[in-house]
Every structure is written in C-alpha cells, then in structure tokens.
Chain A
C-alpha cells in the first residue's frame, strides 16, 4: 500500500526567507505526486503536480517542487516566503497503475511566517 510521510509537523520561517517542505512516499513505482495548500477555514488548493518529465516542476504562487526518484522524495520549495503563505501544506500520491482515483495524503505541515 502506498504511504506518504511529511516529517515536519510545524515549520516557522521569517518573511523573505526560503522554504523547503519535505515529502517522502512509499510506492512500488513512480506515482502521481501532488502538493496542496489549505488556508485557515478553507478547502484545499492544488499547488503543483508531477508524473513524468522534468523533475523540477513549477506551480502557482511561486512554488516549485523537485522529484527525486532515488530518495522517493517530492520536496516543495519557495525562494522567498510571504506572510500570505502561512497555511497548512499537504503532499499527496495517487498510484499510477492501479486503483484510479485512490489517493493518499500526508499528515500535513503547518507553516508559520514571522514578520
């Protein structure tokens, strides 16, 4: 069965600093990989996704993520964090070759931005 691990429950960064949120997955092959953001009291919004091709993918709001097959990782990055980026971030996987539509989310990382 697939699984997703987000090792950091809570991260605090200063506004303007760089950000990296970690995501590791466990699956037999390369799955579909996603990052979502959830602002307080809101639903989730898709930031970016990866399945194949260039391992560095660009998303909305200035985010990017890098897929590393050897490390089974899909870490989310942003060069300069804005106060409005404070939210909860979820990594998710969808298996490639079976169970279309079945998805697994990590437990989330809460980002706090200091002024």
Chain B
C-alpha cells in the first residue's frame, strides 16, 4: 500500500531532551515536507525537500532540523525541544509539485 509512515504517533517528552520523529514513504516521491498544525493556525510548513540532500526552510523552521540522506526518509529532529513546540506534526510526500501531497497520519508531540 502506498503510504507515508510517521513514528511515533504520540510522544510526551521533557524540555531539552533531543528527539527525532521519523518519516518514510514507499512511493519513490521526490518531494517531502514537514508541517505543524496548531488550533486556529492551520498547517505551517517547517522544512521541505526537493530531493536527496536538497532541503529548504519553510515558514517556521526555528528549533527544527531535517536531513534527506535517502529518498524515502525525511526525519524531523528537535535538538532541544521547548513547550512551544507542542503540536501535531505531519509529514507529506509528493511525486511532483503539481500532484499535491500525500500525508502521514500525524505525530502528536507534547513537550513538558
């Protein structure tokens, strides 16, 4: 089944403890992207990637890192999480920019 898989689905962590949210797609898509969703703010793009080793900042990149060493994987790294990063995170992938994104099921992160 074609899909975008994120792990974990739920995560509670403490301020300052580094964490990684994994994202993997099995569709050989070129484009991948991370979003955060907060009530009343819609989805905001954190980082996106056009291909292996090619990434760029979205609208809210502060406090996040990404890497794209393989085409299928696009992990999101929070080096020192803070409570304002408590959010619902989505990974998405697309074969081309006019195809639209396929989204993962989301990761709900709570930083205390």
Contacts and interface: CB of A to CB of B under 8 A. Distances in A.
B53 to A, nearest CB: 14
B interface bracket (residues with beta carbon within 8 Å of A):
20 to 34
A61 to B, nearest CB: 15
Contacts of B103: 36, 43-45
Interface stretch (A12-20, A63-71, A74-82, A98-106): A98-106
B33 A103 contact: yes
A105 B105 CA distance: 18
Interface residues of A, number: 23
Interface of B: 4, 31, 33, 35, 40-45, 48-50, 56, 58-59, 90, 92, 94, 97-106
Lowest 3 A-B CB distances belong to which pairs?
Answer: A43-B103, A107-B42, A46-B100
Interface of A: 32, 34, 36, 42-46, 49, 51, 90, 92, 94, 99-108
